[in-house]
Structure formats: structure tokens, C-alpha cells
Amino acid sequence: MYIVRKVRNKDCYKVKNVETGQVMAECSTKENAKEQVRLLENIDKENKQPVTIHTAKTNISDEEVEDIDKTKEIIKK
């Protein structure tokens, strides 16, 4: 999540990542800052990887396979 804040005593805006505190833009126009937030959020959505479950067993029963598949579906939701 990103936030746009006005820079004190200047006519520009700062873009900051709320979770990490990383500043993505120091001094941008309001329109450019909003556009940058939109682009950054789209990039974050594209970079999200689905969660996978790894099992240590090499021989698993059919019932265990079904349980793992159900668990994967629940996690994806």
C-alpha cells in the first residue's frame, strides 16, 4: 500500500510505501504521484506468487493428495 503526502513548505508530493517506509518519490506533482501509486500497486499485484505446499513424503495416499488439493484451494481464496 502506498500513500501520497504533501512535502512541507514545498509545492510537491512524496510517495511512500506504508508497510516498509520506503520513499518511492521525493518531490512530484500531485497528478504524477497519484499515477505512480497506481502503477506501483499494479506491479505489486502482478508480483504476488501463489502459495504452494511442499510435502516431505515421497509416497502419499490418494486421500492425502485430495487433502493437499483442498488445502491449496482454501489458501488461494
Q: What is the pLDDT of residues 22-51, one digit of tens each?
A: 999 999 999 999 999 999 999 888 777 665
pTM of the complete model = 0.57
Q: Which domain holds residue 8?
A: 2-47
The residue ranges of DSSP E strands in 1-77, in sequence order, are 2-6, 13-17, 23-28
- Mean pLDDT across 42-65: 69
R_g (Cα) of the chain, nearest Å: 21
β-strand pairing of 23-28 with 2-6: unpaired
Q: Is 54 domain-assigned?
A: no
Residue 28 maps to a domain: yes
Number of separate domains in the chain = 1
pLDDT at 14: 96
In a domain, 69, yes or no: no
Q: Which one has a higher pLDDT value, 14 or 48? A: 14
53 belongs to a structural domain: no
> Is the residue at 56 inside a domain?
no
